[in-house]
């Protein structure tokens, strides 16, 4: 089967398709976004997108200029994202849980000229402000701060009419940064047509999304998963987006669903599991609006799938997606979910499972999953070698091991590299190890993913301590805390185990697969 081709006019701009189109379809007065007590209509959304596009122009930005977006989930995220795209500029949604050093890297690597930042996240950026080589303007959402621009003051001076840049379907539209085992995150360059493909093939094709749906995603908008779930899927069909800036703790997630009544609920395995642990949830909360739950980011344990269905009568569809492919390309189908399985190919994509030489393996055998499809990013920005290794002509190397059965179901069989997916978010073992090495008691260490009691993977460190160090619980806690304070807190090792010697290759490289076997009790 060939990859599905949608037809696009020679001039195509994603902001026109996802924003203007809704007003043209007569949805001007319909609620596009529910956010706290605000209801934003499609007409208001269009006006603000246009205002923001004009605001960027007034600051001297234009086609291909990058705009880093560092906000919590809020309407301004949507205005900024599509306002930038409308004038041909490139928005870069960014993880809000990182450290100042990470923001220095992202701002310098992307050469973003403007930054839109939630007021609570501004101090982290200001810490590295003197080291930013290209950033010219900081626009703050939520507060007026010296030497920066206030988001709404800027918007209020701008017209609600904005000319669309002469982009085509193959122009870059937005970037998303993705972490790898070694080195810094890579800017994944997505094109104007990519969101249409993901929305058409997966959201319409598999989820049957339509204008009566409202979406709510635990995964934040800055992840590719959240960007589709929480924003562009709903806009593609004229539905309603529930945007919530709060931390997605299970009780909070339940109350958002109870209050805003979304029909499609998107979580990650860790969040579904946490929701199951809430006491008296059935008495306190109402999930009757939810017609479907969706899970991705890491494999969904069958037990979580079963318990959620028993408790709420809601089916969770597990599917695998990636930042590079933009969204889900293998998924279960409504009413036909198979637990402990990623499901079948999403029509419009093609898959092959190969051995290390690139030859297809027989059905039933594990190999590396390669994907073909039209939503795949064009390259990694400024990373030629990594681009060549990953984007291989028509085929994209997912880095995942999969087994396909006779019926076409794909079962996840682990990563082909040492990357850890915890709570649906990448953690590089190399970064955690390098941080542990900065602790005065640590001589050597290796970090791998290990399953917790619920079968969910979390980082675990095996540490060789220096001679003379007293190894006790206090030290272990101190080491954990040290990591938590030094790098983004979600990366800290949940367990630390002392080990006499690390398994190594002849050339002295840590054999993490051996540590994984120890962690899995093999
Ligand atoms: C892993 C899964 C088993 C797998 C994502 C949906 O997770 C997303 O993107 P990332 O770039 O990570 C991609 C990697 O995560 N993975 C994702 N889903 C599953 N493993 N079962 C799953 N269901 O290693 C994959 O290569 O952070 C998910 C939509 C958009 C996304 N970007």
pLDDT tens string 356-379: 999 999 999 999 999 999 999 999
Contacts of 141 (CB under 8 A, 6+ apart): 71, 74, 76, 116, 117, 118, 119, 151
Residue whose CA lies nearest to ligand 1 atom number 25: 322
pLDDT at 2 over 80: no
Interstrand relation of 264-267 and 172-178 (parallel, antiparallel or unpaired):
unpaired
Q: CB of 456 within 8 A of CB of 298?
A: yes
Q: Which of 410, 377, 381 is nearest to 396 (CA)?
A: 377
- To test the ligand 1 pocket, which listed residue (421, 424, 428, 449) has its Cβ within 8 A of the most ligand atoms? 421
C-alpha to C-alpha distance for 224 and 54, rounded to whole angstroms? 26
- pLDDT band of residue 182 (cuts 50, 70, 90) is confident
| CB-count exposure of residue 141 (10 Å: 0-12, 13-18, 19+) | buried
Res 365: pLDDT: 94
Rounded to the nearest 10°, the torsion over CA 423, 379, 169, 93 is 40
- pLDDT band of residue 384 (cuts 50, 70, 90) is very high
C-alpha to C-alpha distance for 454 and 175, rounded to whole angstroms? 34
C-alpha to C-alpha distance for 279 and 273, rounded to whole angstroms? 13
**Alpha carbon of 223 to ligand 1 centroid (Å):** 10
Ligand 1 site residues (CB inside 6 A) read: 178, 224-225, 296-299, 318-323, 327-328, 342, 398-400, 412, 415, 421, 426
Continuous segment of H or E residues that includes residue 267 = strand 264-267
Tokens of 289: 């609006």
**Alpha carbon of 297 to ligand 1 centroid (Å):** 4
SS3 state of residue 519: helix
Res 3: pLDDT: 59
pLDDT at 1 over 60: no
Contacts of 510 (CB under 8 A, 6+ apart): 433, 446, 502, 503, 504
Interstrand relation of 186-191 and 172-178 (parallel, antiparallel or unpaired):
antiparallel
DSSP label at residue 466: P
SS3 state of residue 282: helix
In order of their start, the domains of the chain are 11-191 (3.40.50.980), 420-519 (3.30.300.30)
Tokens of 417: 């590299």
**Alpha carbon of 155 to ligand 1 centroid (Å):** 36
- What share of the chain has pLDDT > 70, as a percent? 99
Contacts of 143 (CB under 8 A, 6+ apart): 119, 150
Q: CB of 411 within 8 A of CB of 340?
A: yes
User: Could you tell me how far CA 462 lies from the centroid of its own chain?
Assistant: 28
Residue whose CA lies nearest to ligand 1 atom number 7: 297
Atom of ligand 1 nearest to the CA of 178: 11
Residue pointed to by tokens 């918007």: 155
Residue pointed to by tokens 């990058």: 66
C-alpha to C-alpha distance for 456 and 459, rounded to whole angstroms? 10
**Alpha carbon of 53 to ligand 1 centroid (Å):** 32
- pLDDT band of residue 509 (cuts 50, 70, 90) is confident
- To test the ligand 1 pocket, which listed residue (297, 373, 396, 427) has its Cβ within 8 A of the most ligand atoms? 297
Mean pLDDT of 74-100: 98
Q: CB of 268 within 8 A of CB of 223?
A: no
Strand stretches in 296-435, DSSP E: 316-321, 328-331, 344-345, 350-354, 367-372, 379-380, 391-392, 395-404, 410-415, 420-422, 425-427
Residue 124 to residues 114, 139, 382, Cα–Cα distance (Å):
16, 14, 25
Tokens of 368: 């590396």
- To test the ligand 1 pocket, which listed residue (95, 194, 321, 490) has its Cβ within 8 A of the most ligand atoms? 321
**Alpha carbon of 169 to ligand 1 centroid (Å):** 25
C-alpha to C-alpha distance for 100 and 122, rounded to whole angstroms? 10
Mean pLDDT of 181-202: 94
Q: Which of 354, 370, 364, 355 is nearest to 403 (CA)?
A: 364
pLDDT at 276 over 80: yes
Res 47: pLDDT: 98
Atom of ligand 1 nearest to the CA of 425: 27
- pLDDT band of residue 521 (cuts 50, 70, 90) is confident
Res 507: pLDDT: 80
pLDDT at 510 over 70: yes
Q: CB of 290 within 8 A of CB of 257?
A: yes
Strand stretches in 393-486, DSSP E: 395-404, 410-415, 420-422, 425-427, 442-451, 457-465
Residue whose CA lies nearest to ligand 1 atom number 8: 322
Tokens of 195: 């969101």
Interstrand relation of 38-41 and 328-331 (parallel, antiparallel or unpaired):
unpaired
User: What is the overall mean pLDDT for the chain?
Assistant: 96
Tokens of 143: 């507060």
C-alpha to C-alpha distance for 121 and 140, rounded to whole angstroms? 9
Q: CB of 329 within 8 A of CB of 373?
A: yes
pLDDT tens string 286-340: 999 999 999 999 999 999 999 999 999 999 999 999 999 999 999 999 999 999 9
Residue 207 to residues 14, 270, 300, 517, Cα–Cα distance (Å):
21, 21, 18, 37
**Alpha carbon of 295 to ligand 1 centroid (Å):** 10
Strand partners, 67: 91, 114
Q: Long-range contacts of range 484-487, CB-CB < 8 Å, 24 or more positions apart?
A: 486/99, 486/435, 486/438, 487/99, 487/431, 487/432, 487/435
Q: Angle between the 269-276 and 302-312 helix axes, to the nearest 10 degrees?
A: 50
pLDDT tens string 8-25: 999 999 999 999 999 999
Atom of ligand 1 nearest to the CA of 419: 24
Res 5: pLDDT: 83
**Alpha carbon of 407 to ligand 1 centroid (Å):** 22
**Alpha carbon of 224 to ligand 1 centroid (Å):** 9
pLDDT tens string 111-170: 999 999 999 999 999 999 999 999 999 999 999 899 999 999 999 989 999 999 999 999
Residue whose CA lies nearest to ligand 1 atom number 17: 297
C-alpha to C-alpha distance for 380 and 387, rounded to whole angstroms? 6
pLDDT at 234 over 90: yes
**Alpha carbon of 256 to ligand 1 centroid (Å):** 25
Residue whose CA lies nearest to ligand 1 atom number 10: 322
């Amino acid at each position: 089967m060939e990859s599905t081709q949608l037809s696009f006019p020679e001039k195509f701009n994603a902001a026109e398709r996802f924003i203007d189109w809704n007003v043209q379809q007569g949805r001007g007065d319909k609620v596009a976004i529910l956010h706290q007590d605000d209801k934003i209509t499609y007409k208001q959304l269009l006006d603000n997108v246009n205002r923001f596009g004009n605001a960027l122009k007034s600051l001297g930005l234009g086609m291909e200029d990058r705009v880093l977006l560092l906000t919590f989930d809020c309407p301004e995220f949507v205005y900024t994202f599509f306002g930038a795209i409308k004038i041909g500029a490139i928005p870069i949604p960014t993880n809000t849980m990182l450290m100042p050093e990470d923001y220095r890297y992202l701002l310098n690597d992307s050469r973003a000229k403007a930054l839109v930042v939630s007021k609570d996240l501004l101090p982290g950026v200001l810490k590295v402000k003197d080291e930013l080589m290209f950033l010219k303007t900081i626009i703050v959402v939520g507060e007026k701060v010296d030497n920066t621009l206030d988001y709404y003051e800027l918007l209020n001076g701008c017209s609600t009419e904005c000319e669309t840049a002469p982009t085509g379907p193959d122009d870059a539209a937005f970037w998303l940064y993705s972490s790898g085992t070694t080195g810094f995150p890579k800017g994944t360059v997505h094109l104007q047509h990519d969101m249409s493909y993901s929305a058409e093939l997966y959201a319409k094709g598999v989820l049957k999304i339509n204008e009566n749906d409202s979406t709510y995603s635990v995964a934040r908008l800055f992840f590719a998963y959240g960007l589709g779930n929480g924003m562009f899927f709903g806009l593609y069909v004229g539905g309603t987006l529930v945007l919530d800036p709060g931390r997605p703790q299970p009780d909070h997630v339940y109350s958002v669903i109870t209050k805003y009544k979304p029909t499609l609920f998107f979580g990650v395995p860790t969040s579904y599991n946490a929701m199951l642990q809430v006491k008296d949830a059935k008495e306190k909360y109402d999930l009757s609006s939810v017609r479907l739950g969706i899970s991705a980011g890491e494999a969904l344990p069958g037990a979580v799938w079963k318990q959620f269905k028993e408790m709420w009568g809601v089916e969770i569809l597990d599917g695998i997606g990636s930042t590079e492919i933009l969204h889900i390309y293998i998924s279960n189908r409504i009413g036909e979910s198979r637990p402990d399985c990623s499901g079948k190919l999403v029509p419009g994509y093609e898959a092959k499972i190969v051995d290390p030489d690139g030859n297809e393996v027989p059905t039933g055998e594990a190999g590396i999953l390669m994907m073909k499809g039209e939503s795949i990013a064009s390259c990694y920005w400024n990373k030629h070698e990594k681009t060549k290794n990953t984007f291989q002509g028509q085929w994209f190397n997912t880095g995942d091991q999969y087994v396909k059965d006779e019926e076409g179901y794909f079962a996840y069989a682990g990563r082909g590299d040492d990357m850890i997916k915890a709570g649906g978010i990448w953690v590089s073992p190399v970064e955690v190890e390098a941080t542990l090495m900065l602790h005065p008691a640590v001589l050597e260490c290796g970090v791998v993913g290990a399953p917790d009691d619920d079968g969910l993977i979390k980082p675990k460190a095996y540490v060789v301590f220096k001679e003379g160090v007293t190894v006790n619980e206090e030290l272990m806690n101190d080491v954990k805390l040290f990591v938590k304070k030094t790098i983004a807190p979600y990366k800290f090792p949940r367990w630390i185990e002392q080990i006499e010697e690390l398994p190594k290759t002849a050339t002295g490289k840590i054999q993490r697969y051996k540590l994984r076997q120890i962690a899995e009790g093999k």
